[in-house]
């Protein structure tokens, strides 16, 4: 399975089995984290066999078996959320290619996990493991609801990019964004409050994967 296939198959999974991650899988995930940390100046970290990722109330109501997770962390800056959104998206899709499931937890994670990353700013976690199910597709808006292209002929790469962006796990699945194309220039307008930065990063990664980075430039 490649990243494009993973993008189609990935769905939010909140409940996990007790099956442990093998040493081989742990090594692969940690290597991918290191690549992303270096590329985006981040401090993401994999936690294995650790139950501290989500709050106690969430464990009772929504989540089960969240024993492995990636901490989304870095030095505080105006671009941190977007960089973590982009790199975190890569980690989620990479995990899917390994046969694992994930859940982006942006609001109900345990803030205390910052102790594992030298108290860097933590914006959330990604639960990772073997899901009890594969999840289900989320309700999605139409391409025309979230995009505009300035031109008489909309290129296929733009439509493919928007289709892919609609698969991104945006906050509360609101899909409150607009992708605007003008020639080979593309920009994203997004206002989701505290989740705006991470949403933009997630949307950018998905759009690039669908459209092909060689076909356009970010404005």
Residue 197 sits in a domain whose CATH number is 3.40.109.30
Q: Are residues 106 and 27 in the same domain?
A: yes
Distance CA 85, CA 123 (A): 9
Q: Are residues 101 and 35 in the same domain?
A: yes
Bridge partners, residue 127, by sequence: 69, 103
Query: Is there a domain that residue 134 lies in?
Result: no
Which of 107, 129, 151 is the last residue before a domain boundary?
129
Q: Are residues 8 and 105 in the same domain?
A: yes
pLDDT of residue 191: 81
Q: Are residues 124 and 148 in the same domain?
A: no
Q: Are residues 73 and 115 in the same domain?
A: yes
Q: Are residues 125 and 147 in the same domain?
A: no
Which of 129, 157, 185 is the last residue before a domain boundary?
129
Asked if 166 and 175 count as a contact pair (C-beta separation under 8 A), the reply is: yes
Query: Is there a domain that residue 104 lies in?
Result: yes
Verdict on whether the full-model pTM lies above 0.85: yes
Q: Note down the domain range covering 178.
A: 143-218
Q: Which of 120, 84, 119 is nearest to 105 (CA)?
A: 84
What CA dihedral angle connects 173, 174, 177 and 179, to 10 degrees? 50
Number of structural domains (the chain) is 2
Q: Are residues 121 and 155 in the same domain?
A: no
Distance CA 186, CA 59 (A): 40
Asked if 125 and 33 count as a contact pair (C-beta separation under 8 A), the reply is: no
pLDDT of residue 103: 96
pLDDT of residue 58: 76
Q: Which of 203, 45, 37, 196 is nearest to 122 (CA)?
A: 45
Six token digits for residue 98:
């390994």
Query: Is there a domain that residue 135 lies in?
Result: no
Distance CA 106, CA 198 (A): 9
pLDDT tens by residue, the chain, 219 residues: 999 999 999 999 999 999 999 999 999 999 999 999 999 999 999 999 999 999 777 776 788 999 999 999 999 999 999 999 999 999 999 999 999 999 999 888 999 999 999 989 999 999 999 999 999 988 899 999 999 999 889 999 999 999 999 999 988 788 999 999 999 999 999 987 889 999 999 999 999 999 999 999 999
Neighbours of 187 (CB within 10 A): 12
pLDDT of residue 217: 98
Write b or e for each residue in 73-111: b if 16 or more Cβ atoms lie within 10 A of its Cβ, otherwise e.
bbeeeeebbbbbbbbbbbbbbbbbbbebbbbbbbebbbe
């Amino acid at each position: 399975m490649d990243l494009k296939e993973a993008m189609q198959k990935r769905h939010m999974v909140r409940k996990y089995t007790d099956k442990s991650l093998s040493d081989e899988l742990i090594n692969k995930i940690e290597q991918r984290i290191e690549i992303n940390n270096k590329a985006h100046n981040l401090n993401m970290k994999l936690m294995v066999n650790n139950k501290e990722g989500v709050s106690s109330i969430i464990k009772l109501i929504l989540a089960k078996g969240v024993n492995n997770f990636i901490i989304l962390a870095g030095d505080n800056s105006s671009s941190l959320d977007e960089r973590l959104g982009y790199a975190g998206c890569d980690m989620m899709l990479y995990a899917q290619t390994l046969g694992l499931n994930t859940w982006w937890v942006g609001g109900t994670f345990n803030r205390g996990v910052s102790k594992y990353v030298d108290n860097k700013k933590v914006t959330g976690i990604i639960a990772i493991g073997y899901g009890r199910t594969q999840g289900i597709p989320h309700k999605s808006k139409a391409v025309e609801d979230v995009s505009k292209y300035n031109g008489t002929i909309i290129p296929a790469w733009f439509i493919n990019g928007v289709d892919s962006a609609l698969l991104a796990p945006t906050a509360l699945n609101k899909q409150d964004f607009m992708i605007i194309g003008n020639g080979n220039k593309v920009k994203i307008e997004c206002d989701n409050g505290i989740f705006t930065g991470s949403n933009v990063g997630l949307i950018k990664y998905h759009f690039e994967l669908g459209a092909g980075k060689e076909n356009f430039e970010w404005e």
